[in-house]
Structure formats: structure tokens, C-alpha cells
Structure 1
């Protein structure tokens, strides 16, 4: 049995205001080409198909065209991630029911709204019919919505992790029901953060904190756990638990600038060790940093051809028209940001050495020294220092109360008291 694992496409993601549609088209075509070569029995997308809950129509079309090509190669399962809308997945799932009868059951969208029990178990036959692939799929469960699922666990981050562990155990129980050791290959897919995984620093960091992490030893003992949510491709797991993040297909932002992107091919059969093989993706532009002098940038310019580039130039004195000079040095790169770290304008942090023997800091003298280092003309410097000293020595005056403060003070001074309401008599 072969399965292809891909994840975290984030269709619609931009780099600032720069569209990456061309890159997405190229890398999706590359994934389709890998699938055509490998001929997997199952394709698993482990979440974050889109970058936002309300993706643009062009991104929905891009996703469906690619998924349609993949389902012609093998049955495909798309898991709901934290960026994906359950309602949109419902719509896309309904569209799948309108496909010709021969294509029914080839494309599955699995999601959870958080108020119903998430997760499902899906069965697929291998191409040769000798094996049955059983896939337990657990979509992303938002920490703010899990109370509907785990009312007895409490409200702490640890309770969220404990609840996810119970969900995984329940799914594994369902997965094992009717298990045929001589024929079945068990797989698990989830969109979650597993403790010990290394984030790419481009994820939403509040969602990849250790208190919300699932323990690696809580992962089901299956042939392979296909994980999504972390953008850096990597293997995780303990002992017999073989698990991995396929990662994002493009370097999504500069937190991923050193990563090689890939999809993973899994080969497994009953009673044998599972093999995983990464297939490198080459279509996306590289995101790169440069830190150094203008001379050093010119010497290394060739290595940034075609890349998105952030530049930090070190200098002794301010460099006029720095952006233009950098652009001339790297004409084949796409400049995203240019900054300068100049020794002449670098702020100096005061330390204990600047404090006199009596423990006092002469702020006026320090400011005067700064003006001298900045080459401020003498008369101007004297006038600025005099004004500065005058401000320091002027006592603070009490600010007038705002109208709201005045009303509040009155209300506190004269607490409200109820009035005696007159009775209204009615005649029978």
C-alpha cells in the first residue's frame, strides 16, 4: 500500500501585498506530477487547505481543480484545519455528491464545527485489492469550542490536551473494530500540535504552545500518523508510533526561509515496517535574509537570484538612497524590506557605569554629550540643553479632571437612593 501525504497549502496566502498565485499553480502541478509517478492508493491532505475562512473564489477554484486531478489518481481525503471553514467544507462536500456515480466516494472533506463529535473512520481498498486501508481522521478542534465535547475536563489548556487524547483513543477503538491483521493497514491523520515538534515560526504562535500540545505517546499505534498544522516537514513520535508533518508546500513567510519543502510517500503493508520517503518540491520562490555590508551584498548577489529578500545593511555612517543602491546590487531578487543598522545613529543604553558615586544620573550632562557627538552646533546645543534642563526642573502641575471624572466623583459622593413611588389607585 502506498499513500501520499501533503498538508498546509494555505491557498490565498500572500507575502505582504505580493500575490503568490503563480507559485501555488506551479507547486500544485508538481504535487500532481509526483502523485502520477508514485500512483498511491490513497492521498491524504492533513488540513489548512485555505489560508482564511473566506477564501477568494479563485482560490476555491484552484483547490478544486487540483483535488479533481488528484482524485483521478487515487481517493483523496481533505482534513479541516484551523484556517478552514466547516461551512465551506460542507459546501464542497455537497458538490462532490453531484459528481458522476463512478467518481462518488473519491473525494472526502472531513471537518468539525466543535459542537458535534469530530472525527471519522474511512475504508479504502488498495489498487490490487489485496489490502484494506483504514484511515481515522481527526480534524482541528478549536480550544475555544472544545467544551461542548469535553464538559467534564475543565477549562485549562491541559484539559484541552486531555480531551484530544480521549478523542484519539475513541477513534482508535473504532479503527480497530473488525481489524484484520493479515489485510488491514491502519492510518491516522490529525491537524494538531504534537509536543516536541519544531514550529516553523510562521504558524499562529498561540496555537502551537506546549500547554495545548498533544503528547507524542498519545498518538495511535498505527502504520503512520499523517499530521498537519506545523509548516516544517519533520518526523515525530515515540517508539512504534511513526508520525510526520508533511509541512507546507511553499515557504509561507521568512520564518520558513531555511526549509526544504516536500510531500511524503508512505509504503506499508500488514506485518512489515513502514517506509516513508520525502519528495522535494522545487516550485516556490526562496525566502532569504541578508545581513552585512553593501560590499558583502554585492559579492553574494548571485545566490539571491529569483528569491524574496529581506536586507539589513551594516554601516558606519548613514547611506543616502540605500534602497536604490541595494536594488542595483541584487536586480534579480524581489526586495521585500531594506533596513540599515548604522553605528553613527545607534542608540546607547545607559548602564551602571553612567551613574555617579552618589547613585544619581546627570541626565542633562548625558544629553549634552549626545548633542556634541551628533555634531550639533554649539549655540544650538546650548539652547536645546537649556530648554531640556528647564523642562526637567519644572514641577508637574496637576492636570484638570475630565468631565467623566467629575461626574464619577459626584456619583461617589452622593450615592443613588431609590424614590418612593406613589401608588395608583384604581376603582373596581
Structure 2
């Protein structure tokens, strides 16, 4: 029986409202290494977004390499570049730590044709079986942009082009396929339509990188997917199983309450596979409380050890609200403590449906609905009102760059002959 371990979306370097997550990353990555050492997979796949930024620091690269070296000591480890990763950084890491260096690490920096490393084969079960892997790192829509396109790549263009790339990988994956010996895996950093991102913000981020249909995934034994942070299976696929491993930490408040995991996949050629998520508990939970200070006191134990956002009812004008909340839940990292706002966006805009709402009032109502503190909201509304006033002036203030351009056009410089 072949065994695969699937992890994804580490986002090393991510902070939370300027709070470091380093200790949590170290704890949860140690869990992942421990699970690998205990489960002894034949192959480990990281399906993208190793780092949170394409400009990751040397410290984050060192953290990643220390963990990946430990994983590679257990089994060959393939790491796909995600949309947050730098292909150039991955190319450097590929050169420094690739198979030619005997490290057992395979950094997939960008889409590669099958003959250039896009399809890899690994021995499993002591050589009696093989895992054949087709790797699809994140492919930017600009790859498919053509000068003839007035508005750039469309969603439809992207889907068609991606199907063509996948078809080339899939054809090579099945070339020489031995159904009695081979387990086929497709790894990709891609957004599959119909899956559930953790939050609206993440959903918008995913959709900007264009969705793919689940039916487009190739008919393999397992599709190891990255990009969505909520661990979940994918329905409607031709693969025997397809799954997002998800992020190992609750990275933002949209992920609050999510159970994080890595995935162990057991497969025998020609037989149903077994998918077993293994829980990860090293991250600090994220939580939001809504209620009175008295209710928070009664439930304080629930929020110990969390990153906490507190919205307190009946605390309007309490200058010491943050201190009071911190005293009630001393073991929590307090992200914010705000009084509940009574005014809703709907009530502000529905006061007179026959009259267009005043823009500053509408903006103030929006900020209230978003629970922005009163002081910050007032400053923002004041700045907004000032900008509106500038727009209403008949003669707008001069723009320095525009003045320089006018001067240059009035007295063009000509090259001396």
C-alpha cells in the first residue's frame, strides 16, 4: 500500500494585527514533522503558498528549509509554488536543494512540461509500487495574455488554457501507466469553483486568480489541492478523491473555528483509496465575543489562549474598555475591544427612501456597520468630507506631475543631430 502525506498553505511570515505567529508556526510545523515520522509516507506533497509573501525574509526561508529538510529525511518532498510564493526564490531553492544535491526536495517553481520535470515518479512500498505525480504550481492569468486581447485574459480564456496545460501533464502521467503498480496523483495550486473559502476576503482573493471547474481535474487516484484555507473534500471530480489540505493555522478571523489538519492518503492500485485527515492543534485559536462584560466574565474560560476580538454591549463611552476586557481574559491576546454600535447601515439609509442620502452620513453609517471605533470613524468622515469639497470646486488644485507634463509638451526637447 502506497502512502502520501498532503499539506499546504503554510503562509510562513504571516502576522495577525502585527502580532507575531512565529511560536505557533514552530509548534504546528513540529506537529507536521511528527505526523510524517509516525505515519512514514512514501511521498510528501506541499500544494503551494509556502510563504505569505513573494518577498519572504531570510528568517522565513530558514524556517521553511529546516522543516522541509526534516520532512525530506522521511520521504521525498515536493513543494509547489503558490500565488503568494516567488517563482524566482523557488528556482533558487530548486538549484540549491534539488535531487542533484541528494536532498530529496523538489521545488516546482513554475509550470513545467512533462519532459522538463512536470511529471515525477517515486518508488513506494519498497519498490513494488510507484506514485506518479503531475505537478501544477500556480499559473498566473498573464501567462495566457496575448497582445491581440484588448482587455487581457478572461475567465473563459484561463479555463481553456489551463485545461490544455493539464491535458499535456495528464497524457504524460498515463503514458506507460501500469494499473497493477501505479498510484496516480495530481497536485495543483488552483481555485475550484464551488469550494468554500474561509471568508469573503479570501473568496475574493481566490476569484481574482480565476476558478476552475471540478470536472476539469484529471481522473487520478488523488488530487492534492492548495489555495483554499478551509480543509475540505471537493465534490464532482473524476478523481477518486480530491481535497484541499488547508492552512495549518487559523490565519485570520475568517478562519476562526476551523479545525486544521494534514491529510494522509493510503492507496493500492485498482482499489478504493483511504483519506485520513490528521488534526493540527499547535495554533492559537481566533475568537470573537459579542455581549456584555458580565457575560464575558461568565464565559472567560472559553477565550483563554485565544486571539480575541471583543464587541461589548452597553459600553459606549467607556475609555477603559480594553483594560477591563484584558483583566477578565488575561490569557487571551486582545486584538480589539470595541463598544457595540446601535446604529445600523440600513436604518441610516432608509430614513427617507425618496431622498438620496448625504454621502458623509452614508459613509459614517457604513463605518458604524463595520464596527470602526468612533474616533477613527470621525477622522475618516472628516477626511472624506474634505475630499468631497475639493471635488466640488470649479477649479481643482494643480497636480505637480500634470504641471510638469504640460511644461514639457510646451517646450519639447529634441535630440542634437
Fold shared by both chains (TM-score > 0.5): yes
User: Helix, strand or coil: the match of 1:133?
Assistant: strand
Residue-by-residue CA offset, 1:21-69 (whole Å, 9 max, x unaligned): 1111111110000001100000000000011111111110110010000
Give the distance between the partners of 1:177 and 1:325, measured in 2 at CA. Answer: 66
Per the alignment, residue 332 of structure 1 pairs with 331
Per the alignment, residue 217 of structure 1 pairs with 215
Residue-by-residue CA offset, 1:196-246 (whole Å, 9 max, x unaligned): 110012865444229921100110110000000000000003254210000
Are 1:9 and 1:50, in contact at CA under 8 Å, matched by a contact in 2? Answer: yes
Per the alignment, residue 206 of structure 2 pairs with 208
**2:395 aligns with one of 393, 401, 407:** 401
Deviates more, 1:38-47 or 1:311-320: 311-320
User: Helix, strand or coil: the match of 2:74?
Assistant: coil
1:75: how far off?
A: 0.4
Per the alignment, residue 235 of structure 2 pairs with 237
Are 1:287 and 1:307, in contact at CA under 8 Å, matched by a contact in 2? Answer: yes
Are 1:158 and 1:211, in contact at CA under 8 Å, matched by a contact in 2? Answer: no
Give the distance between the partners of 2:283 and 2:206, measured in 1 at CA. Answer: 25
Within a 5 Å distance, the mapping from 1:19-418 to structure 2 comes to 19-97=20-98, 103-104=102-103, 106-112=104-110, 120-147=118-145, 155-201=153-199, 204-209=202-207, 212-238=210-236, 240-241=238-239, 242-315=241-314, 317-343=316-342, 349=348, 351=350, 401=395
Give the distance between the partners of 1:35 and 1:227, measured in 2 at CA. Answer: 19
Give the distance between the partners of 2:34 and 2:237, measured in 1 at CA. Answer: 33
Per the alignment, residue 371 of structure 2 pairs with none
Are 2:114 and 2:168, in contact at CA under 8 Å, matched by a contact in 1? Answer: no
Give the distance between the partners of 1:267 and 1:132, measured in 2 at CA. Answer: 13
Distance 1:71 1:46, change over 3 A: same
1:337: how far off?
A: 1.0
Unaligned runs of 5+ in 2: 359-391, 403-408, 411-417
Are 2:7 and 2:263, in contact at CA under 8 Å, matched by a contact in 1? Answer: yes
Give the distance between the partners of 1:234 and 1:26, measured in 2 at CA. Answer: 23
Per the alignment, residue 368 of structure 2 pairs with none
User: Helix, strand or coil: the match of 2:24?
Assistant: helix
Residue-by-residue CA offset, 1:375-408 (whole Å, 9 max, x unaligned): xxxxxxxxxxxxxxxxxxxxxxx95635869xx9
Residue-by-residue CA offset, 1:328-360 (whole Å, 9 max, x unaligned): 1111110001111154999952646x69xxx88
1:20: how far off?
A: 0.8
Give the distance between the partners of 2:217 and 2:99, measured in 1 at CA. Answer: 36
TM-score of the superposed pair, with normalisation by structure 2: 0.80
Per the alignment, residue 423 of structure 1 pairs with none
Are 2:112 and 2:118, in contact at CA under 8 Å, matched by a contact in 1? Answer: no
Give the distance between the partners of 1:99 and 1:172, measured in 2 at CA. Answer: 25
Distance 1:403 1:342, change over 3 A: closer
Per the alignment, residue 395 of structure 1 pairs with none
Q: Which structure carries more helix by proportion?
A: 2
RMSD: 3.3
1:273: how far off?
A: 0.3
Distance 1:203 1:224, change over 3 A: farther
Give the distance between the partners of 1:193 and 1:6, measured in 2 at CA. Answer: 16
**Higher Rg of the two aligned structures:** 1
Are 2:48 and 2:226, in contact at CA under 8 Å, matched by a contact in 1? Answer: yes
TM-score of the superposed pair, with normalisation by structure 1: 0.78
Residue-by-residue CA offset, 1:298-352 (whole Å, 9 max, x unaligned): 1101111111000111117533411111111111110001111154999952646
1:259: how far off?
A: 0.2
